Chain A
Amino acid sequence: MAVRIVLQQADLDRALTRIAHEILESNRGADGLVLLGIPTRGVVLAERLAAIVGRIAATEIPSGALDVTMYRDDLGRNPVRAPQPTAVPEGGIDGKTVVLVDDVLYSGRTIRAAFDALADLGRARAVRLAVLVDRGHREFPIRADFVGKNLPSSARERINVRLAEIDGDDAVTIDGRDD
């Protein structure tokens, strides 16, 4: 089983900085932006993005966490999952432009669940999606607005996102399964 590094720390920083600029560009500024990360690594990415966007726009960008566990459509097919905390920034999401942030976009099922979860929190003016890695294999008509890296992969391969806050270092790796 070969492990290949796809993004190193510098690549990851560059990708996040580019996404931050793209978010500001598409939103025409920082007004009404709320970044919500999907646990676990999406939350860290959302915090980092909020810091970068805030630095560029010289303002504070609220970021939080949106857990989608209890909205998943595959709960009955897997062992019980422990939910993670949801943390909505003060001011809520009503009328805001919510940017969902996740590490890897794959089937799209997590994002579908996130739409349901978001609807229970309020009515956002618009919902955007930012992901660090898009690996293809979508099972829903969902696409990301902001992508760090497109990584066409085989369903047998495993994409691993490592972030310093959780894993000790920054890297995106791919495990090729030669079987």
Chain B
Amino acid sequence: MRHLLSTRDLERPEAIGLLDVAEDMAAVQEREVKKLPTLRGKTVVNLFFEDSTRTRISFEAAAKRLSADVINFSAKGSSVSKGESLKDTAQTLQAMGADGVVIRHHASGAPQTLATSGWIDAGVVNAGDGTHEHPTQALLDAFTLRRRLHGRASRGRGLDGTRVVIVGDILHSRVARSNVWLLTTLGAEVELVGPPTLMPVDTSAWPARIGYDLDAALDEVPDAVMMLRIQAERMHAAYFPNSREYARIWGLDDARFDRLPPTTMVMHPGPMNRGLEIAARAADSPQSTVREQVANGVSVRMAALYLLLSGERGES
């Protein structure tokens, strides 16, 4: 693997291989010494053009636990706010000898540009680009699902026959897009549920069912319900009348949560808007995987950095 830009172009064996490496990384997280010497001498740059705390610190922890040197670069207060282009930033990083670049950008496709433009030799990891993809989030969701379903027997397995409902703002969600591709590749069935105004106009090419009725979707007793965050920063138009109405129709409130059997997982990529898309009781229940998702995020990102940066560079 040379770059990790999207889950859409991940082959099934490749995806399962990455999740298996993440199992090994997770085992390291349970030891007293949580650090591996694997990427000693390599430099990983966290290039964040968009605010993010959890994804950045997750990548930072992952790189540090593999003994890489980490440089954090956030657009705020940097030369980007003075008008520097992505190309110049990339060439600066190249001159500093970055081996890996973790990039989050508000423009869809920016990681692709960085990886294929020839500005930089480093391996590129997409940490979320616009409304396009967020591959490591989907990988950690798949990892979390696989671990809950199969436990210690997870290695080498996909998610065949697992039914996942993703609820909320599909239109703006790169998490939903990455999950649709990855979970389907791994054999799961995905249903997307949300207000029609927050559904993309054309989803005919997506390997997912589309629904608008959360209660109907929950009646089918899915294996997991993934609640997406209502992204207030992207709500520039009247997508729904008000947040109370959204919570009543598309939120996982106490009444809906009580109808779910204890085997249905409740997932959320965080940060959560408690009381809006997810009720506190659902978020704090044993069915909730929210904290596991955070812990697994470090393991999955370690696996991605290991696969991208440990071998000799240059092969595809």
Which residues on A are within 8 Å of B, measured CB to CB? 67, 70-71, 75-86, 116, 120-122
Contact = CB atoms under 8 A, between A and B. Distances in A.
Given A70-B36, A116-B37, A120-B31, A83 B24 contact: yes
13 contacts: A70-B37, A79-B311, A80-B306, A80-B307, A80-B311, A81-B311, A82-B21, A83-B21, A83-B306, A85-B27, A86-B24, A86-B27, A120-B35
B248 to A, nearest CB: 47
B186 to A, nearest CB: 18
Nearest to B99: A76
B109 interface: no
B286 to A, nearest CB: 26
Given A75-B38, A86-B24, A116-B37, A122 B32 contact: yes
B1 interface: yes
Contacts of B20: 82
A76 B311 CA distance: 5
Interface string B1-14: 10000000000000
Contacts of B312: 76-79
User: Number of contact residues on B: which range applies?
Assistant: 20 to 34
B155 A70 contact: no
A121 B28 CA distance: 9
Given A84-B24, A86-B27, 14 more contacts: A70-B38, A76-B311, A78-B311, A78-B312, A79-B311, A80-B307, A80-B311, A82-B21, A83-B21, A83-B306, A86-B24, A120-B31, A120-B35, A122-B32
- 3 closest A-B pairs by beta carbon, nearest first, are A80-B311, A120-B33, A70-B38
Given A70-B36, A70-B37, A71-B38, A85 B311 contact: no
Interface in B301-316: 306-307, 310-312, 315
Nearest to A121: B31
Contacts of A122: 32
B17 interface: yes
Nearest to A74: B312
B94 to A, nearest CB: 18
Contacts of B141: none
A116 B155 CA distance: 25
B311 A75 contact: yes
